[in-house]
């Protein structure tokens, strides 16, 4: 047998039909659904008299629109339009008989956090969702990617997608990370290296010692932003950490089925001599804590750097950088650590898991949010929130002056009232710094949870390593 | 879906790189449960001020480009979110074709599902079309999908590549779901085999 990549193996196991030109029908094992990109798809089914082909493989949860305030059980906390959208999901889930975690269920949260948490996401699966950050699930060695609403309807009706195979790209992070450097820094550093279109046409497999050393949470952070690098999906081969994470989850296989699954899962890695269409290698020990300065996730620099001059770029990027600096209110040459921050947001499907909250809390412990700043934590799911409360992390946040919110997407995309105002500058653990993403004319700097915590304490972008104790710095 | 027919229309230049789907349709318009009516909000934050007045500088507000049906855009058009509201908004505005050196994957797919044609061309050709579009009113370009050509207002013919299956679907206005439904026996066979091989799924 010819050598295969992990992507090749998962792809081959899911092709239900293939035409002469390679156009394939890819069978979908898990379809995740949220309220924003699905109403038109369900409407389409109704109009054509179609049903959901595999309701037991379809899981819905409202997350984008839902308020994250403590009083959200009160419908008045939602705008009319948001309420209609969430109610449409309630109704569609019920009418079509799919799995559902409503807003008042403790398991509710961001769809990409709920899937793995409940054991829906398993190695070797195909996972899709009408959301670009579906790549997150690739951390389990699942082929996971975002789709548009027409494709949501297609998967609901047929449990398949019409696909052409992407190319294989390997991103290797060798060596060990330095203290204070996290999965978020890795994934941003990769995008800084490849650009936002560098992965277009590829499925990325992340590998190397620094990736192996990451927890499952960290791996999800890395894969989550594969889309910001333009890739269709990001993957990490499953290993003991993966199996340990999955074991015992509500929807993970049990008993004999677990054994049978493990037998297959252990074959899910790229063969030594597999063919790669593109290879990128970064040295783990050279990655520093990074921040973004502009309005594209590729606008990444180490925290020790200065704001770049537009002329230092080439082609269309010169104008884009000029526009970005104007939008962000920054001047070339300005030190990144001199940028004053108004707001800190910790949350999102990139960094809303328990380990992210632990990392931020470790920096915040015994400290206070700088006077006059707004700081909020929005756990990725109700269960993450509950766990953080149990571990005492919630208290650390609250004592430091953070708002302790309910689960949802919140200020990651600001569809609910959690928004930046004009000119407000935010250190955010989310994944997009686009113009207006977190609120009209809001300014976003993407950072890791630890870096967000550091900015909350000092009031400006800060190298988190300066706030770490000597013991932590050598750990 | 309507069939994609050869047309001649005004081309608007948008040389900015990395135009993302948040720019194409900001999130406040994602709360709709319909596919239609988003055209007035296409590029909302670039197109209107906070009071809802048009920003005269924005290309699609200029008299020459108000009826554009082709967009000639900078690299990596449509990056970001998977929101199909982006192509819905463009289509509703009247855009049928977007030309760029590269497109984000999901946006690219979404276009075809809505009868729109994204055309990928090398930088030099995009530059030719961009220059042509910048001429304004007279920059009417002709897109012939059957022949796979786009013709500038000066009559320069530029060929482009397109996936054969997607071309076929666009030209005939075929609905993907209907096509896939014809293969239901393959899907059933796959489900049977996979239930045996991977019963935990
Ligand atoms: S947290 Fe942000 S990126 Fe993730 S699903 Fe929600 S809106 Fe999308």
Does residue A473 register a pLDDT over 80?
no
Q: Which two tokens stand for residue A195?
A: 């650009």
CB contact at 8 A, B4 and A10:
no
Residue from A62, A129, A135, A431 whose mutation best tests the ligand 1 pocket (most atoms within 8 A of CB): A431
Alpha carbon of A145 to those of A137, A212, B125: distances in Å?
A: 8, 22, 31
Contact B22/A437, CB-based, under 8 Å? yes
Does residue A183 register a pLDDT over 70?
yes
Task: Give the pLDDT confidence of A264-289 residue by residue, as tens digits.
Answer: 999 999 999 999 999 999 999 999 99
Which residues, including other chains, have CB under 8 Å from residue A385's CB and lie 6 or more apart?
A379, A394, A406, A407
CB contact at 8 A, B131 and B153:
no
Please report, to the nearest 10 degrees, the dihedral formed by the alpha carbons of residues B156, B160, B164, B169 taken in order: -70
Q: What is the mean pLDDT of chain B?
A: 95
Task: Give the pLDDT confidence of B124-150 residue by residue, as tens digits.
Answer: 999 999 999 999 877 899 999 999 999
Nearest residue on chain A to B29, judged by CA atoms? A415
Quickly state the pLDDT bin for A182 (edges 50, 70, 90). Answer: very high
Nearest residue on chain A to B178, judged by CA atoms? A154
Residues with CB under 6 A from ligand 1: A 63-64, 110, 112, 131, 133, 348-349, 409, 412-413, 430-431
Helices marked H in chain B: 21-24, 44-47, 85-93, 105-112, 123-133, 164-172, 176-181, 184-197
pTM: 0.95
Contact B186/A162, CB-based, under 8 Å? no
Quickly state the pLDDT bin for A248 (edges 50, 70, 90). Answer: very high
CB contact at 8 A, A124 and B74:
no
CB contact at 8 A, B75 and B101:
yes
Is B108 domain-assigned?
yes
CB contact at 8 A, A327 and A435:
yes
Q: Is the dihedral of CA A127, A231, B184, B3 positive or negative?
A: positive
The total of structural domains in chain B comes to 1
| Separation between Cα atoms, residue A234 and residue A206, nearest integer Å | 7
Q: Is the dihedral of CA B130, B133, B136, B139 positive or negative?
A: positive
- pLDDT (mean) for A312-337: 96
Alpha carbon of A447 to those of A313, A338, A379, A414: distances in Å?
A: 23, 15, 16, 18
Task: Name which of B113, B187, B200 is nearest A150 (Cβ-Cβ).
Answer: B113
Question: Which residue shows structure tokens 């050509």?
Answer: B149
User: Listing from the earlier edge strand, what are the strands of the sheet with A403-404?
Assistant: A403-404, A374-378, A343-347, A425-428, A443-446
Task: Give the pLDDT confidence of A21-42 residue by residue, as tens digits.
Answer: 999 999 999 999 999 999 999 9
Does residue A232 register a pLDDT over 90?
yes
Does residue A475 register a pLDDT over 80?
no
| Separation between Cα atoms, residue A441 and residue A422, nearest integer Å | 5
Contact B186/A436, CB-based, under 8 Å? no
Contact A146/B82, CB-based, under 8 Å? yes
Which residues, including other chains, have CB under 8 Å from residue A449's CB and lie 6 or more apart?
A182, A184, A346, A351, A356, A357, A359, A360, A429
How far the first Cα of chain B sits from its last, in Å, is 34
Is B198 domain-assigned?
no
DSSP letter string, A103-156: TTSTT-B-HHHHHHHTT---TT-EEEESSGGGGGGGGGT-EEEE--HHHHHHHH
Beta pairing class for B7-14 and B140-144: antiparallel
Identify the H or E element spanning A343: strand A343-347
How far the first Cα of chain A sits from its last, in Å, is 44
Is B189 domain-assigned?
no
Is B160 domain-assigned?
yes
Question: Which residue shows structure tokens 């082909």?
Answer: A53
Does residue A470 register a pLDDT over 90?
no
Distance of residue A243 Cα from the nearest chain B Cα, in angstroms: 14
Q: What percent of chain B has pLDDT over 90?
A: 95
A154 interaction partners in chain B (CB closer than 8 Å) = 176-177, 180
Is B200 domain-assigned?
no
Which residues, including other chains, have CB under 8 Å from residue A204's CB and lie 6 or more apart?
A169, A170, A171, A226, A229, A231, A233, A234, A235
Residue numbers of chain B with a pLDDT score lower than 70: none
Contact A415/B22, CB-based, under 8 Å? no
Question: Which residue shows structure tokens 């049928």?
Answer: B96
Is B55 domain-assigned?
yes
Does residue A474 register a pLDDT over 90?
no
CB contact at 8 A, A45 and A51:
yes
Is B61 domain-assigned?
yes
CB contact at 8 A, A109 and A117:
yes
Let me know if A238 is exposed, middle or buried by CB neighbors in 10 A (0-12, 13-18, 19+). Answer: buried
Does residue A472 register a pLDDT over 80?
no
B35 interaction partners in chain A (CB closer than 8 Å) = 40, 149
| Separation between Cα atoms, residue B142 and residue B136, nearest integer Å | 15
CA neighbor of A308 nearest in space, from A282, A335, A343: A335
Contacts across the A-B interface (CB distance below 8 Å): 185
Which residues, including other chains, have CB under 8 Å from residue A105's CB and lie 6 or more apart?
A382
| Separation between Cα atoms, residue B177 and residue B74, nearest integer Å | 32
ipTM: 0.92
pLDDT at residue number A469: 76
A145 interaction partners in chain B (CB closer than 8 Å) = 106
For B149, the domain range is: 7-174
Q: Which two tokens stand for residue A227?
A: 């889309």
Task: Give the pLDDT confidence of A381-437 residue by residue, as tens digits.
Answer: 999 999 999 999 999 999 999 999 999 999 999 998 899 999 999 999 999 999 999
Does residue A376 register a pLDDT over 80?
yes
Task: Check which CATH number belongs to the domain holding B132 and give it.
Answer: 3.20.19.10
Task: Give the pLDDT confidence of A107-166 residue by residue, as tens digits.
Answer: 999 999 999 999 999 999 999 999 999 999 999 999 999 999 999 999 999 999 999 999
pLDDT at residue number B156: 97
**Residues paired with A171 in a beta bridge:** A206, A280
Does residue A461 register a pLDDT over 80?
yes
């Amino acid at each position: 047998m010819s050598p295969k990549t992990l992507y090749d193996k998962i792809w081959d196991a899911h092709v239900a039909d293939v035409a002469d030109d390679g156009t394939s029908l890819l069978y979908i094992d898990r379809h995740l659904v949220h309220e924003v990109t699905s109403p038109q798809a369900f409407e389409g089914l109704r109009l054509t008299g179609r049903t959901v082909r595999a309701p037991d493989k379809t899981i819905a949860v409202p997350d984008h629109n839902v308020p994250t305030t403590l009083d959200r059980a009160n419908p008045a906390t939602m705008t009319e339009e948001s309420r209609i959208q969430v109610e449409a999901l309630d109704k569609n889930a019920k009418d079509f008989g799919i799995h559902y975690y409503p807003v008042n269920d403790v398991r509710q949260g961001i769809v990409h956090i709920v899937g793995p948490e409940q054991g829906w996401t398993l190695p070797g699966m195909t996972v899709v969702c009408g959301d670009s950050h579906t790549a997150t699930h690739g951390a389990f060695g699942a082929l996971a990617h975002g789709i548009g609403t027409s494709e949501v309807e297609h998967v609901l009706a047929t449990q398949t997608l019409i696909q052409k195979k992407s190319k294989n790209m390997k991103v290797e992070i060798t060596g060990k990370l330095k203290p204070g450097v996290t999965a978020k820094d890795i994934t941003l550093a990769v995008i800084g290296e490849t650009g936002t279109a560098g992965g277009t046409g590829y499925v990325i497999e992340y590998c190397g010692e620094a990736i192996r050393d990451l927890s499952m949470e960290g791996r999800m952070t890395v894969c989550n932003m594969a889309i910001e690098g333009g890739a269709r999906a990001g993957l990490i081969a499953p290993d003991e950490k993966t199996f340990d994470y999955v074991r015992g989850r509500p929807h993970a296989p049990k008993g004999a089925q677990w054994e049978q699954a493990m037998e297959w899962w252990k074959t899910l890695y790229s063969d030594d001599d597999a063919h790669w269409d593109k290879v990128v290698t970064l040295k783990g020990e050279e990655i520093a804590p990074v921040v973004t300065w502009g309005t594209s996730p590729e606008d990444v620099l180490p925290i020790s750097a200065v704001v770049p001059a537009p002329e230092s770029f080439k082609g269309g990027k010169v104008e884009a950088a000029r526009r970005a600096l104007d939008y962000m209110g920054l001047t070339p040459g300005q030190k990144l650590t001199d940028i004053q921050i108004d707001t800190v947001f910790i949350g999102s499907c990139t960094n809303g898991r328990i380990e992210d909250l632990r990392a931020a809390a470790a920096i915040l412990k015994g400290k206070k949010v700088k006077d006059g700043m707004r700081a909020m934590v929005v756990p990725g799911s109700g269960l993450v929130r509950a766990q953080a409360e149990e571990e005492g992390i919630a208290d650390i946040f609250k004592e430091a002056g953070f708002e302790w919110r309910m689960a949802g997407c919140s200020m990651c995309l600001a569809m609910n009232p959690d928004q930046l105002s004009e000119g407000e500058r935010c250190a955010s653990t989310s994944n997009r710094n686009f113009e207006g993403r977190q609120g009209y004319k809001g300014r976003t700097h993407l950072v890791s949870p630890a870096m967000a915590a550091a900015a909350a304490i000092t009031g400006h972008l800060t190298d988190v390593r300066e706030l770490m104790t000597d013991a932590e710095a050598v750990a | 879906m309507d069939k994609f027919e050869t047309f001649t229309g005004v081309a608007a230049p948008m040389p900015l790189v990395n135009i993302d789907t948040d720019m194409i349709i900001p999130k406040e318009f994602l709360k709709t449960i319909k596919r239609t009516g988003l055209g007035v909000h296409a590029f909302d934050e670039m197109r209107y001020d906070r009071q809802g007045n048009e920003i005269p500088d924005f290309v699609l507000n200029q008299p020459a480009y108000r009826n554009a049906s082709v967009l000639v855009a900078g690299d990596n058009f449509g990056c970001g979110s998977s929101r199909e509201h982006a192509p819905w908004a463009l289509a509703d505005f009247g855009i049928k074709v977007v030309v760029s050196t590269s497109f984000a994957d999901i946006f690219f797919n979404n276009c075809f599902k809505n009868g729109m044609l994204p055309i990928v061309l090398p930088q030099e050709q995009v530059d030719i079309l961009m220059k042509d579009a910048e001429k304004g009113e007279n920059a009417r370009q002709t897109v012939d999908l059957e022949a796979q050509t786009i013709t500038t207002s000066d009559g320069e013919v530029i060929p482009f590549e397109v996936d054969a299956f997607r071309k076929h679907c666009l030209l005939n206005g075929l609905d993907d779901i209907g096509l896939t439904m014809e293969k239901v026996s393959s899907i059933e066979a796959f489900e049977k085999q996979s239930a045996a091989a991977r019963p935990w799924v």
